[in-house]
Amino acid sequence: MGHRCACPYRITRALDAAELYGPDVDVACGAQEPAVDEWEAGTRYPSFEQLLALAALTHQSPDSFIAREGDEDLDLRDTTMWCHISKAERARWRPPITEFTAAAVEECPGTNDYRDTHLF
Say if residues 104 and 43 touch (Cβ distance below 8 Å). Answer: yes
Positive or negative torsion for Cα 22, 28, 32, 36: negative
What pLDDT, on the 0 to 100 scale, is given for residue 31? Answer: 94
Encode pLDDT of 69-115 as tens digits: 777 666 767 666 677 778 887 787 777 787 888 888 888 765 444 44
Encode pLDDT of 71-81 as tens digits: 766 676 766 66
Q: How confident is the model at residue 1 (pLDDT cuts 50, 70, 90)?
A: very low
Distances (CA, A) of 102 to 7, 11, 26: 13, 18, 22
What pLDDT, on the 0 to 100 scale, is given for residue 57? Answer: 97
Encode pLDDT of 19-75 as tens digits: 998 999 999 999 999 999 999 889 999 999 999 999 999 999 999 998 887 776 667
Higher per-residue confidence, 14 vs 76: 14
